Amino acid sequence: MNETEKQLMPQYGDNQKITDGNYDRSLAVKCVNGTFVGKKAENIISYKGIPFVGQQPVGELRWKAPVDVTPDDGVYEAYYYGKSPVQASGDPAALYPTGEDCLYLNLWKADDAATKKPVIVWIYGGAFDVGGTTDPQYDCHRLIQEHPEVIVITITYRVSFFGFFHLSHLPDGKDYADAQNLGLLDQLKALKWVHENIAGFGGDPDNVTIWGESAGAASCSLLPLLKGSHQYFHRVILQSGAPAQTRSAEQAIAVTDRVMEALGCKTVADLMKRSAEEITNAWTPLFGFYQVLGIRTMPERDGIHLPLNTWEAYANGAAKDIEFLMGCNKDEMNTFLGVTGVDVWNAWAGGRLEEKLAQLTEDEKKKVESYCHDIPGESYEATVRLFSQIMFIAPQIRLSEEQTKAGGKSYTFYYTVESSLPLIKAGHASELSVVFAHPELQDFTGRAYDEKFCKTMRKMWVQFAKTGNPSLSAAESPDGKAKQWPLYDLKDKQVMVLDEHDIHPAKEADVKIVDWERTYFLTNYYMP
C-alpha cells in the first residue's frame, strides 16, 4: 500500500441516515435536502459526502442533466466522501471507489459562531478526464486551520465519457442534448446548492469565489458563460486554465464515434446496455489521460450552454462584473514531460504538432516553426515550450486581455517556483501542494517549498476571496513585506511574479510570458 492509499483508507465508508436521534446537535446543519452531521477534528468541522442533487445520474438518468434536490427532513451522516466519478485508472481519486452515483460535495469550516464568512468552492482538474475530491491533495483541514475566517467546499462532477460525451448526433440522441457539457451542469447545480444552504454553515451566499486548477480552472472560466450562473458566485480564481480548453461539436463527435466503434454500439440505447466498466475499458486505450495522454475530453462550444466563440463572449463583457485572480506556471507542460518520460512525450507532441500545423495558414506555420527553431536544448524542449504556450500560457494572458478590455478586473500571476524533480521545473499543478498547505505531498514538487512563500501565496488567495483584491499590507503579509498586486492593464500588462524568494509585480515585457507575434494567435484555434 503506497502513501496515498494509506491516507485514503480511513475515509472509506458509507454515510447512513440517522434514525435513532443519537447525534451531536452542535455538528448538525439543516439544509434543504436534509440535516447533515459532520465530524470534528481539532477545531475544524468537516462535512463529507453531502448530495447536491435529488437523484444520482444512474440508470435512466445516465447522460442526463443533474436533478435538483427535493426537501427532506431526514438526518444524515456527513462523515465520508462520496464516490469518485467513473474514470480510467491513474489519478489518486481513482484509488477511492468510483461510480456513476458521484454527485456529492464536502465542506470544511472552523468550529466558531461567526457568520457571513467568505466561501471558496474548489473545482478539481484532470483534463476533464480524471480527478475527484477524494485526492488527498484537496483535503482542506490545514487550509482552514490557517484561515478559519473562510469556508472551503470541494465539489464532484462527472468527467470523461459520462461528463462530456456528444450523443445528440446518434439516431436516438435527440433526448441527450446536454450530454456534451454535463460536467459543467453538475458544477452549476453544486453552486446552486451552496447558494441555498451555505448560510446554515455560517457562510455568506453573496460572497462566493469559485476556484480551480487546469480543467478546474477552465471550468471556472466557462461557468460565467452559463445562463443564470452569476447569481451563485462573484469572484474567480484560475490556476492554469482558460476558455481555450473547449472543443467544437465536430471534435466531440469524432471522439464519440471512435468509442462507439470500439464498443460495437450504434445508438444511445446500445450504450445504455453497457456497464461503466465496459465503456471505461474501450475508452482507456483510445483516450486515457494517464495511458496515452488523451487530452481530447473538453466542454463543447455547443451554442446551447456555451457560446460558439468563448473569446468573443469575454470580449463582449460576459464576465465583466466578476473579479478574476488568474495566472499560469512558467513551465506548464514540463509536468507532462516529467510524468510520461521523454520518449512518450516526443511521440505525443509530434502527433499533436502535426495536427495543429494542419489548422494553420502558411504564414502562421512559419511563425510557429520560427518559434520552435529559436528554442535551444534537448529534443523535447521546443515542443514542451510550444505546447505550454498553446494549452495554458497564451490563453491565460489572452483571458486577462479580454477581461480587461471589456471593463472587468484581472489580477494576473506568473508562477516560477521550480520543482527538484527531473524535468518538471515550474510545471503544471506543481503549485497545488502550496495552495492547499500539503508540503508532504511532493509528487510534482520533490521538496517542501519555502514556508513563508507558501503562507503568503495562500494569504493572497484568501484575501482575494474576502475582498476582491489579493494585495497584502506589511502587517497582513506572512513575511512582513507589503505585496501590492496591480491590476492587469493593457499598457504595461502588469503581473505578479510568484517567485519563491521574491514575490513582486512586473511588466509582462520584462518577464516575457508570451510570444505575442509567434504564439499568441494560436489561441484562436483553441486547445485540442
Instruction: State the helix-helix crossing angle for 249-263 and 276-287, rounded to 10 degrees.
Output: 120
What are the φ and ψ backbone dihedral angles of 495, each rounded to 5 degrees? -130, 165
Helix (H, G, I), strand (E, B) or coil at 177: coil
Helix (H, G, I), strand (E, B) or coil at 406: coil
Which ranges constitute the DSSP H helices of 141-214?
141-146, 160-163, 182-197
Query: What residues act catalytically?
Result: 214
> CA-to-CA distance for 138 and 132, rounded, in angstroms?
9
Tell me if 56 sits within 8 A of 101, measured CB to CB.
Answer: yes
Tell me if 171 sits within 8 A of 286, measured CB to CB.
Answer: no
- For 45-88, the DSSP string reads EEEEEEE-SSS-S-GGGTTSPPPPP-----EEE-BS--PBPP--
Helix (H, G, I), strand (E, B) or coil at 451: helix
Give the amino acid at 226. L
Region of residue 175 (phi > 0: left; psi between -120 and 50: alpha; otherwise: beta): alpha
Tell me if 190 sits within 8 A of 101, measured CB to CB.
Answer: no
> CA-to-CA distance for 44 and 37, rounded, in angstroms?
13
